[in-house]
Each structure stands twice: as structure tokens, then as C-alpha cells.
Structure 1
């Protein structure tokens, strides 16, 4: 009996809930019926069939009621299991938003809930099924990449049981499949936005493991996993977007940082760190004043507060940032505000662009334009001043010829003449600075010019000043006006001497320099070419930084009024520019100053014709027309020429000159000023040439761009005499033109 009950219990435990309920109800009815029969048999009472059928009816109805109750309970239990499974899967896949973790958790929970022995999850990437994770298996029975064809797509899109025979036929499954003794398969397609994106495959060693109920349960996981996948993909896209933004933010050419209401830097990009020389921990969390010079700290603090209070945005504001090493850069700043949900600004976003080089270039352009404008002004002043000096020097030289050296007025005339010459020297320096003086180029050995200048300088330099030479042995040739280069070098020597009142060392060096694109930034303003480099260094008191941009301006000087005119360095600048060269200066207070001149090296001579001066003062009887709007110039020239025996006619302007030229049958020579009101000297020249192509013309002017810049005009004129001139200068020039 006991063994029977055990077998009965074992059979019952193998049945489902409904079958167990039916078995219990049937057993109860049978027991009751047998009890009734036994009572009647042992008591001898007559069996009442009504009781029997009543009991049977009650048993049948009880059986039916128990069946439906059990069936309903089974459905509730299955729904509970489904909900429990859904909740388990939902929690597992929503535990992380990382795509890889979502896939791994989804595979593990599906396999656990369906008691699968093995599992795989594949994702569709670039047209191939890529294996992402496996469950309870180390080796892979699939090849690495599964190319999708239509058949596979259709099969994998369905959540159903797959036969082992189906997989054994696929070329993507390796021969190792049989070693795992897999007897049943099932698949769960994964979708995102109704698009097939992957599949979960599960396998069991038991045949018919995945029946309809298991497949239905498997299907219930699809939406939860799909939703988790969608969130994971969105999170991945967000990460990629954030990474892209972060990479852009970190590597943009401009500097970025954000400031909170306390004036602290809460973030900055890599560009700013590299520009300013900081590590991130040295800036983030620090007051924004760390970016500025100490004298600007209070102003910066007030500005941050004002921007927050007034909700301002700055555009193109120029500021000075201070690097970690103490050096400074000029930046252009733009700001914007970040607001919270209450509409209150919480951060200031700052974009700073380094404009140091741009500002330096602008300053250089402005400086060049300024110097050019001053040069034009200087040229005009020199013209008028030369006319005045001409009216002084000419008569003085005439009077000096008329009186004896023992005459009491001789020394005064000599003083007047010397003063006029010094004035003429000043105008020559002005014209040299403005690059409007006559320049006679020839092949020049720079080392020889420097040696000659040193010799000249050493005659007057105090013994406290030492000169050290470091001249390159090779011959360094440039196409230059030797006198002007000598003047420029001498001016730099004199400037160095003035910087060392208590004595010092002047070092002069020369060398050949070939500049190209790879040369360091110190040469960035000098175009690539072959140059001769002249460097003059002193160990004097140096030049303050605020003066470095002004030292080449004419009349700028820091010396006492009696010690300098302010034209020395201006002349150097003008000489260098007229030779298509470049000049740079480096200076440090109490250390010294270094001037560098770069002149283009040449391989062949480019030399203008040099005038040959007559040694004797000879007059003549030719008829000369003098054309000048300056009365004094006309008087001086007329009197000198008349004294020399020439016949002279005077014209006060271009109109008179043309009129007299047309009315007079013949002039042997015209002395012509170029800068005249009304009709210019150049126009007068061409009109006279039309009337008489053979007429000889001597140009006499304080300065003129026309003479310097018009090569064709230079070829057409017969001579050029620079004002102011002395008696001998005019006599020689006139005779030279007439005799050639």
C-alpha cells in the first residue's frame, strides 16, 4: 500500500496543476461511491440508487468545478510567470544604458528564464551579423561574420522554434555544433523603430524543449528588449555627440572657459591650457583673475559681477592675458551667458582669440604709414627749406669770393656759409629718411664700408668706448650707395656711444644670411632671400619698451635738446628702406641694444651713371633761361651766371617760361625747377622739348619724386643740381651741360 501511494504521488507530481486537480476530484468521488457501497454491504441495508446517483451527480459537478478552478488558476499562474519574467528582463536590460551591457543582460536573463543551455546574441552591423555575447559557452560554433541573405533574414525575423537540421545545413555553422549535442533551438528577433537590428538564439540539449508556451513567453520579451536597445542606441548617439562636441571644444583654435558667479573657472579647453602653459588642475576651480595681469584683477572682478547683474554679452573686447611664465598675449573676447530653468544666468562662457600677431602687424602697418606720411611731409619741408638755404648759401659764397680773408666781415660770411651747410645737411638727412634723395648704387663691399666707418668713428670716440669686430672673411657684396650705408652705420655707432656715457663695448659683426621658410620667428617679417646681415650691439642702458615703436620716427629723441636732432635713427631707417632692406631692434634695459640690418646680397653690379665733375670754374656767353617760382633762387642763380658772363632771362613760373621760350628765338640752356604751382616743371620740360627737341635742360630742385621715380625722365634731362648749392656748384653744373 505504501509503495502504491509513493507511485501515486510520483505520478501526480509529474502532472500539471489541472491534471492534478482532476485526479484529486475523481479519487474523491470514487472513494465516496465505494464508501456508500461498503456501508450497504456490511450493514445489510438496501442500496438506495437515488443516493448513489445524487452522489455521482455531485461528484461530476464537483469534478467540473474543480477543473475550471484549476484551469483558471493555471492561467493566472502562467500570467504571473510571464509578468515575473517580463519584470526580470525589464530590470536586467534597464539596469544599464550601455549597449554592450544591455545586450549581455538581455541574453543572460532570457536563457535563465527559459532554462536554455546555450545562448548567443548577434547584432546587424554593416550588413553582417556580428556576434556580441555567448551564454555558457566558450567556443564559437559560428563563423565570425554572418552575411545576411534573404533566407536568413526571413528566418531570424520570426520568433519560433528552429530545428537542429536547419542549423546543420548553414555554411555559417562550424563542425563543432554536434559536439554540444544541441537538440532544440529558438530565436528572438530584436527590433528598433520597427527595423530588424539583431537576434537572440537559444539552444537546449533536450528535444522539444521550446514549445509553444516557451515561444510565447520568449515573444513577450521583445518589446522590453527593443525599448532598452533604443535607449542604449540613443545613449550611444548622445555619447558620440558629446565626444564630438568635447573633441571640438578641446581642439578649437580659440580659447574657451566658463566662469561661475563666484568668479571661478569651472571649465576650460585644451587650447587654452596649451596657450597659457597651465595644467587643467591649475586653472579649473581657480579665480578667473589668474588669467590677467595683477593690475587688472579688481577690474576683472567688477566686470564679472556687472555682466551677471546686467545680463550683458561682450563682443570683440580686447584684453591682455598673462601666461603662466609671465609673458602676455593680446586676446579678443566674446562672452555669452548660460541660464538655469528660472531664467537666471549661472555661467559666463568666454571665447578668447589670440590676436597678438594681428595687433603687432596692425601696429607695424600704422607705424609704416605714419613714417611714410612723415617722410612725405619731410620731403616737402626739405624742398622749401632748401630754397631758403639756397638764398643764404649762394649769396654767402658770392660775397666770400668778393672780400679778402682779412676783412672784418669775412668771418661772419664764413659763419653764415657754415650754418647754411649744416642746415643743408639736416635737409639731406630728412630726404634720406623720406627716401627722396639721389642715390647712386654700385657694387659695394660691406666689410670695407664697415671698416672705413670704424676708422672714421674711432678718430673721435672716447677711449672709454671699445669696438670689437667680428666680420665674415668672405667678401659681402650689396648693390648700394656707399656713402649712405656709411652714414647709416655711423649713426648706429653714435647712437650706441650715447647709450654708454660711462663707457662700454660696441660689437659689430657681418655675415651672409640665407633666410627661408624654416627660419625662426625672429625673421618672420623679413621675406625669404639672400642677405648681408650687419649687427651692431652695445651694452648700454637699453631702450624702454614703450619707445621701441617710436625710435625710427623723425625728431623723436630722449636726449637733451643740445645733444641730438632726433634724425639719426630715422636716417638709418630711410637708408635701409631705400636699399630694399630691413632693420630690426632688440633691447633690454640695463643690458643693451642690438640693431640688425639686412641688405639683399647681389652677384653682379647694378650701378647708375656717376657724374663727372669739372675741376675748373669756367664761364661763358650762352643765353640761359632760369625758371623758378622762388624769387631768391632766381636772384642767386641769375647773379652768379651773370658774373660768369652768361646772358640770363628769368621766368617766375611755368606759364612765363613757355611764353618766353616761344617768343625768344634761341636759348642755349634752361635751368628748371620742378615743384612749381600751376604748370609743373615736368610739363614745362615736355612742352619745351616739343618746341625745340635739342634744347638742353638742367633740373635744379630741393627734391622731387619725379626725378627719383621716373627712369625715362632721368634719361631725357641733361643734368641735375641739388639745392642748396654754392657758387662753384652752379658754375660747374652749367658748364658740364653746355659742353656735352
Structure 2
């Protein structure tokens, strides 16, 4: 027995591999000499060892085997080799072994036989042809495996058609889209035979792609009849003409990809961008509105004592002040929506917040609406502004009441939910406490559902709604790190879900209301800085009424000039001023007169955050608010 591997050191992927089996060593040496320049040659003189080599060497392309060998004949060897290898087989036999050749053809699947003694050129050609057949068979098998893997495992619907539109190959996803029970039920049939008139547009697109000879891509609404689909959906359909060697289009590949989630995500992102733009607009409007309200409320408060003897005029001015205060409440909603109002967030128990609203909900919803609660005992704490959360819940309950003109049920529930993945960009993975507010009302039509968070959008009649309720709720949950979802069906009510991130801190006790500070009895010199002349006049008039000596200037630069030439005990400055802002002025004052108290007055929170150690008073304010802040800052411990 001899065994050897000969040949040059070329990679196996370039040179084919031949296994030669013969019990005569001289024959093996001759075969090595004949083929070693073109192939990698493995030899053995034992049939049993040949089977071991075949099992261990999956890259063998051609097996050359002698017929007459001790222990196992060539035809039997090749029959067993065929069970474990796809290599091509050639039998080497003498003139008297025709019966062995017939047996090898039947049992071993040989592709040819060569008689001994062989003609070298004839043997070379036989091996070369066998090698080429084996290589092409493997390439075809690889392509078939790749195609089958693509068809079986792709999430896309894939099909191959002839130029008449008949299906030649398709995957289960495409058969499902066509509403067929199986892949086999589609083969040889056209899309029109399976879908009827619904296939007209698809077949027209197929013909256009075949005629143009170029790939096409379109986005189509709807996803076919699968499972009685009624939801809004989109498919991206790619058609690729396939040409024969002569260049003629003979087949068409069709790939359909469901891009519904992508489209919905794009829609949500566009909505988020729109909300951000509207929020910026709302913040700017609120800033100017707060300045006007400060001047209106302050002027009315200053004027009321002067008309104390005139009951009718007092009543009119009081009505005007109350209207201005309602405007201030509306402005706060705008600022919450625009993310520009700092929330007074603390860790709260959602169940306690909801249970504490019993009286408020009873008075607001009236006797025709029943309030039900299903509160989870172990609901997680959240960090949120409880006052704003109460306002949000109240708004949603009132919306539910308005959707039930004949009465009904508003149900409030809490639960815990862990989000592991979400297509909503506003809902990140994590733990959330969820508040669900459900009504049994008329529901919201789909064409309106996408607009309900837009500020000033309302379906209520003139004078019955501002369109800011849901916008305010949206702003609150966004600022708190959560999101809001609405599920609604016309005629079957609406459910609003508020997702608030779980807090791992302990629940905080509510703030204790402090008594209103009394203005400092000593006289003090106060510098008032505001670019709005009306607000500046009101603020200075309030301070003068408290008994302080006030000086008013219109800018930060003018304030610094006054501070250089006169002594003051306090500076009261607007935050948003052209040129030098209130924060710029406050930092300049701290740098040069660090002991001088400073009060910032703002109509909204600016993009630049106010340092937490700055004292801030929000517009619009009443005289009592200003008096308390000034007294606290002028007190020795202030």
C-alpha cells in the first residue's frame, strides 16, 4: 500500500483535488505523474482507507478507482463513496470487466470508465470533464442554497416571474400576501388569477419594468388581502428585470418590503418636529403676553384703591382683573406645552394624587358622569410636578365628559409597565408608571387623532375650548421624561395613556404653605431694570407703595452706570432684555458688588437655564408676590 499527496502549493480553491485508488503502487505513481501539474492528487492502495479519506476530505472533486482490488471492488467502493460525497467517479478497468462497468453505472453513479492500459490524453480529458461537471454542479448547488435561504428567511415577499407574469419561484411571505394557502398553489399562475381586479396595478407595473428593462421601485399603500388587513400600511416594491446571455429580458424578480413601521416612525418624527416648532412659537407668544398681563394686572391693582367709593367701577375693574388672571393661567399652559416653564417636580405617589382629586373631579364633571378607579397597589413612584399632573388629569377627564353628552363613565387606572423596545421615539426602554384615563364617549375619528396635540386645535364650538388642554398634557409628560398615547375608536370611547418614568427615590411630602412675608419695615433703595416701560412703571409703583425708594432704568447698561454712582440695597431686573440680559447683569453685579441682593423677573424660562441660586419671580405677579420676595431678600438672613 502506498499513500501520498503531491502537487504544487496552489490554493485548493484554484486546483481541483483527485483521489486515486489502486492496489498497485506503480499505477498510483503513474497517476500522480500524469495529474500533479494540474491537480492536487491524493493516493491510497486500500479501499477502506479511501472511504476514510473521502469522509475527511469534502473538497475531493474526482475519484479514480481501479475495479479489481482485494477487500472491496471498485464498483462497490464508488457506490459507498456516492453515499458520503458528491465527487465525480471514473472507473479504471480492464477489457474483461464490462459487467463491472455496468454495475458501477447502476450502483456507483460513475460518469465514465477508462480501460487499462489508458491513453493519457483520453484520461486527462475524462478527468478534466468530470472536474468541470463537479465544479458547475457545486456552483449550482450553492446558488440554489443561497436562493432558497433568501426565499425562506427573508422578511420581504420575494417572487420570480416569467415575462407573462406567471410565478416560477416565490417564498411563503409572498404567498401569504397573495392570500394563497401555499407556495405550490401560486406556481404557474399569474397575480391576476390569484387576486383578480386587485392585481391590475401590479401587473401594469410588471409590464412597465419588463418593457423598460431597468429596475423600478415604487411605494404602494395597502398590503393585500392577508388576514383581512384593514390597518394603514405601506409596501416598497422593487422590480428587477433578469436578462438571458443574449440580453433579452426573460424573467422578472419582484421584492416587496413592508415599510409600515418606518413610515409611522417618520410620521411621529415629523409630528415631534412640528410640536417643537409650535412650542417655540408658543413660548415667544407667552413671553410677550406675560409682559402685557403684568402691566394690566399691576395697573388694575394700583387703580382699585382709588375707586373704592364707586361700587360699579370697582366691580368692572375686578372683572377685568379676574379675566387677566385667567389669561395668566392660559399662558402657563402655553409655557408648559412649549417646555419653557420650569416644573416644580418632586417624587409622588400617583394613587395619592388621583385620590386627592375626588372633590375636584366631582365638582368639574357633574352628576351625569360616573368616576371609576382601578389603582394598582404597588404602582411605582414618579418624579413630576403634582400640580401640573392634577391639571393634566382634570383636562383629560373634562375631555372625556365632553365626549359623553348623555353621560357615561370616566375610569382612571394606574399600573406598572416595563418597555423593552418601542417604535415610538418618545418612549425609551425602561420602567414606567402608567395612568390610563378612559371614557365611554363618541371616540375620535382617525383623521383627527393625529392633530389632537396641536395647540389651539379643537373640535369644540367657539368659546367652548382653547385647544390647549392636550397640548399642555403633552408638554408635561415630555418634560417629565415620558410620553402620551391615545387609543380611540369612533363610537367606542377613548383611552389616554400617560407614561411617566419610574423614580427610585422615596416619595416626598408635599410643601407646607408658608405665610406671606411682611415687607421689611426699613426704607431701602431699590433699582428696577426692565426694557418694557409699562412693566417698569408697575413694578416701581408697587415698590413705592411698599415704602421703598425706587429708581427705574430701561437696560442693563444703564443699571451698571447707576450702580457706579449711587448705593442700592436691591436690584430687581427683567430676565429677557435686548443687549445685556438679566443674567448678564446679575453676574456683573455679583462680580463687582457681591453682597448686593438681586431678583430676576421673567415672563418665561429662557433657553439659557437660570442658575439655581438666583432668586426668580415669574410674571405676571401681584403686589403681594413682589412684596414677599423683596422682604425676604432685604431681611438680614436673606
Normalising by structure 1, what TM-score?
0.67
Which residue of structure 2 lines up, in the alignment, with residue 374 of structure 1?
Answer: 278
> 1:487: how far off?
0.8
Which residue of structure 2 lines up, in the alignment, with residue 661 of structure 1?
Answer: 563
Which residue of structure 2 lines up, in the alignment, with residue 705 of structure 1?
Answer: 606
Choose from 581, 594, 598 the match for 2:495: 594
Counterpart-to-counterpart distance in 2, 1:461 and 1:130: 99
Q: How does 1:153-164 map to 2 (within 5 A)?
A: none
Structure with greater helix share of residues: 1
Coordinate RMSD, CA, aligned: 4.0
Counterpart-to-counterpart distance in 2, 1:476 and 1:405: 57
Counterpart-to-counterpart distance in 2, 1:497 and 1:130: 95
Which residue of structure 1 lines up, in the alignment, with residue 9 of structure 2?
Answer: none
Choose from 632, 637, 641 the match for 2:534: 632
Which residue of structure 1 lines up, in the alignment, with residue 254 of structure 2?
Answer: 350
Q: How does 1:113-132 map to 2 (within 5 A)?
A: none
Q: How does 1:431-580 map to 2 (within 5 A)?
A: 431-474=335-378, 476-513=380-417, 515=418, 517=420, 526-580=427-481
1:280 match: secondary structure: coil
Q: How does 1:162-201 map to 2 (within 5 A)?
A: 167=70, 173=71, 198-200=90-92
Mapped contact 2:159–2:254 kept (Cα < 8 A): yes
Which residue of structure 2 lines up, in the alignment, with residue 287 of structure 1?
Answer: 191
Choose from 218, 235, 245 the match for 2:146: 245
Mapped contact 1:378–1:431 kept (Cα < 8 A): yes
Mapped contact 1:292–1:321 kept (Cα < 8 A): no
1:625 match: secondary structure: strand
Mapped contact 2:209–2:239 kept (Cα < 8 A): no
Return 5+ residue gaps in structure 2 as ranges: 1-38, 55-62, 82-86, 98-112
Deviations 1:231-278 (Å, cap 9, x if unpaired)? 752563254134223224313343323455555655433444467775
Counterpart-to-counterpart distance in 2, 1:724 and 1:595: 32
- Is 1:723 matched with 2:625? no
- Is 1:383 matched with 2:287? yes
Counterpart-to-counterpart distance in 2, 1:196 and 1:283: 36
Say how many residue pairs are matched.
Answer: 557
Which residue of structure 1 lines up, in the alignment, with residue 596 of structure 2?
Answer: 695
Which residue of structure 2 lines up, in the alignment, with residue 13 of structure 1?
Answer: none
Counterpart-to-counterpart distance in 2, 1:553 and 1:261: 51
Going from structure 1 to structure 2, the CA distance change for 1:298 and 1:496 (only over 3 Å counts) comes to farther
2:589 match: secondary structure: helix
Q: How does 1:386-425 map to 2 (within 5 A)?
A: 386-404=290-308, 406-425=310-329
Going from structure 1 to structure 2, the CA distance change for 1:257 and 1:728 (only over 3 Å counts) comes to same
> 1:344: how far off?
5.1
Going from structure 1 to structure 2, the CA distance change for 1:323 and 1:653 (only over 3 Å counts) comes to farther
Counterpart-to-counterpart distance in 2, 1:215 and 1:316: 59
Which residue of structure 1 lines up, in the alignment, with residue 634 of structure 2?
Answer: 738
> 1:432: how far off?
1.0
Counterpart-to-counterpart distance in 2, 1:227 and 1:736: 102
Return 5+ residue gaps in structure 1 as ranges: 1-123, 132-140, 149-155, 168-172, 178-186, 206-213
Counterpart-to-counterpart distance in 1, 2:195 and 2:333: 47
Which residue of structure 2 lines up, in the alignment, with residue 19 of structure 1?
Answer: none
Mapped contact 1:129–1:198 kept (Cα < 8 A): no
Counterpart-to-counterpart distance in 2, 1:688 and 1:366: 44
Which residue of structure 2 lines up, in the alignment, with residue 644 of structure 1?
Answer: 546
Choose from 141, 149, 157 the match for 1:255: 157
Going from structure 1 to structure 2, the CA distance change for 1:662 and 1:529 (only over 3 Å counts) comes to same
Q: How does 1:41-440 map to 2 (within 5 A)?
A: 145=51, 167=70, 173=71, 198-200=90-92, 219=118, 229-230=130-131, 232-234=133-135, 236-250=137-151, 251-258=153-160, 265-273=167-175, 278=180, 279-281=182-184, 284=187, 285-287=189-191, 299-315=201-217, 317=219, 319-322=221-224, 324-325=226-227, 326=229, 327-339=231-243, 345-404=249-308, 406-440=310-344
Mapped contact 1:319–1:333 kept (Cα < 8 A): no
Counterpart-to-counterpart distance in 2, 1:627 and 1:292: 77
Going from structure 1 to structure 2, the CA distance change for 1:628 and 1:273 (only over 3 Å counts) comes to farther
Counterpart-to-counterpart distance in 1, 2:226 and 2:40: 49
> 1:426: how far off?
0.9
Going from structure 1 to structure 2, the CA distance change for 1:144 and 1:532 (only over 3 Å counts) comes to same
Going from structure 1 to structure 2, the CA distance change for 1:157 and 1:393 (only over 3 Å counts) comes to closer
Mapped contact 2:442–2:493 kept (Cα < 8 A): yes
Mapped contact 1:378–1:434 kept (Cα < 8 A): yes
> 1:602: how far off?
2.5
> 1:158: how far off?
9.5
Deviations 1:59-90 (Å, cap 9, x if unpaired)? xxxxxxxxxxxxxxxxxxxxxxxxxxxxxxxx
More displaced stretch, 721-730 vs 405-414: 405-414
1:459 match: secondary structure: helix
> 1:310: how far off?
4.3
Counterpart-to-counterpart distance in 2, 1:198 and 1:260: 39
Mapped contact 1:386–1:427 kept (Cα < 8 A): yes
Going from structure 1 to structure 2, the CA distance change for 1:439 and 1:157 (only over 3 Å counts) comes to closer
1:693 match: secondary structure: coil
Q: Specify the structure having the higher radius of gyration (Cα).
A: 1
Mapped contact 1:508–1:537 kept (Cα < 8 A): yes
Choose from 552, 562, 571 the match for 1:670: 571
Mapped contact 2:291–2:619 kept (Cα < 8 A): yes
